[in-house]
Homo-oligomer: A and B are copies of this chain.
Amino acid sequence: MNIGIIGLGLIGGSMAIDLRRRKFADRIVGVDADKVNAAAAVKIGLVDETVTEEECVAQSDIIIVAVPVSAAVKVVCRVLDQFQKEGWTDKVVMDVCSTKEQIAQATMYHACRKQYVATHPMAGTEYSGPWAALPNLFDAKVCIIADQQESSPKAVAEIVKLYDALNMRVSYMSVSSHDVHTAYVSHLSHVISFALANTVLDKEKDEKHIFDLASGGFSSTARLAKSNADMWTPIFMQNRENIVKVTDAFIQKVQEFRDSIEDLDETAIRSFIDEANRIKRIIK
């Protein structure tokens, strides 16, 4: 199988590593708008060669679009245009974006819509670029396929095989539920981490030694604040409505807890913590 990867960052690069060593991909070509990243991806050995986007589509059976979501909308449409123009009915394109609504809308009436599969592998780290790529990144994690009824069964089956090679558990969901759910379990965590980091960094302007005290608790809560703006700005913009709603719900919870503390309401503080402790059954 020939695989083309457009966007050679953390996700595209990590897919390249595992698809190759697990023999799903015979040959991998890549595209990256950033010349340094493109050269690094070849040097690290993620891809066999970097080519133009058109060549990449021409040479590949499956095209993986792994660029930030604002760019992905355009790239997926261009790839489908090329499928149509060249009469390629067997090729499949997939994206890996964290918000799905806008690509869904942009591709909705495309003649080749059936050859596009909307996916979101729920895996990642706070690092970016081809040097952030890791083996086994996707193992045992969940991958969402969104609105699978819009893709041809054959295209879906091929992409499921690809995620099978990545050891992911595939789950199906509508585009709109996907975007609500990810607002809760991923995007909100990022809003929080960025805000926490800025709160403490602001304080640091007055007190130089504040970070001497930063222990493991802070590092884990603020870890996502290292995530980069190129990836996250378009996510926040595209999933705006859900994220605003979820953030408001969160602010209300923080405010409620803050008020219990201000009131020295021991019962309320304790029951808020006890309720939160139920998260133990979800995360290990």
Which residues of A are interface residues toward B (Cβ below 8 A)?
Answer: 122-125, 141-142, 144, 171, 177, 180-182, 184-186, 188-203, 207, 209-229, 232-233, 236-237, 240, 243-244, 246-251, 253-255, 257-258, 261-262, 264, 266, 269-270, 272-280, 282-284
Contacts and interface: CB of A to CB of B under 8 A. Distances in A.
A67 B217 CA distance: 19
Nearest to A232: B273
Nearest to A278: B201
Contact of A258 (B122, B191, B213, B277): B191
A266 B254 CA distance: 26
B269 A219 contact: no
A125 B216 contact: yes
A26 to B, nearest CB: 30
Contact of A224 (B184, B185, B198, B217): B217
Contacts of A217: 124, 185-186, 189-190, 224
B270 A233 contact: yes
A144 B254 CA distance: 28
A161 to B, nearest CB: 21
A124 B192 contact: no
B185 A223 contact: no
B185 A189 contact: no
9 contacts: A122-B215, A124-B215, A184-B210, A185-B214, A189-B222, A198-B272, A201-B278, A217-B224, A237-B269
B223 A283 contact: yes
Contact of A221 (B144, B180, B224, B249): B224
A273 B201 contact: no
Contact of A276 (B144, B182, B201, B212): B201
B262 A258 contact: no
A229 B274 contact: yes
A269 B233 contact: yes
Contacts of A222: 189, 279, 283
A194 B284 CA distance: 16
